[in-house]
Amino acid sequence: MAKHLGKKLGLSNEQVAQLKPILVDRQQQMQTLKADTSLNEQDRHAKATGIMQDSKTRIEALLNDTQKQQFEQMLQERRARHNSPPQAQ
C-alpha cells in the first residue's frame, strides 16, 4: 500500500518510509476492532471511521500541497466507486 501511494502521489523515499508505520498501525487497529465482539455495529462503524480519519490526518501531514490534492482526489474516487450501485452486465 505504501509503495502504491508512493507511485500514485510521487512520494519521496523518505515519505514512503514515514508512511509505512502509519499504514501498519491503521491495519492493526482495524484488526483489533474487527476482533472486538463487544461492540454493536454502530459503535464499530464509528470507531472504524475514527481510525480511518486519524490515519488520513497523519498521512496528510507528510504530504506537500500538490500531493494532498492528489490524495484527496484518490479518496473521493474510491468513495464514489464504493458508493455506486453495481453495474448490470
Provide the domain limits for residue 39. Answer: 2-63
Position 73 in a domain: no
13 domain-assigned: yes
pLDDT digits (tens, 9 = 90+) for 13-65: 999 999 999 999 999 999 999 999 999 999 999 999 999 999 999 999 999 99
- What's the number of domains the chain is made of? 1
Nearest to 51 by CA among 76, 24, 17: 24
CB 9 within 8 A of CB 71: yes
Is residue 82, in this structure, part of any structural domain at all? no
Q: Are 16 and 2 in contact (CB under 8 A)?
A: yes
d(CA 61, CA 34): 27
Residue 68 lies in a domain: no
- How many residues would you count in the chain? 89
Sequence-separated (6 or more) residues with CB below 8 Å from residue 68: 60
pTM: 0.83
The answer to whether residue 75 is domain-embedded is: no
Q: Give the confidence band of 1 by pLDDT, cuts at 50, 70, 90.
A: confident
DSSP state at residue 12: -
- Domain for residue 50, yes or no? yes
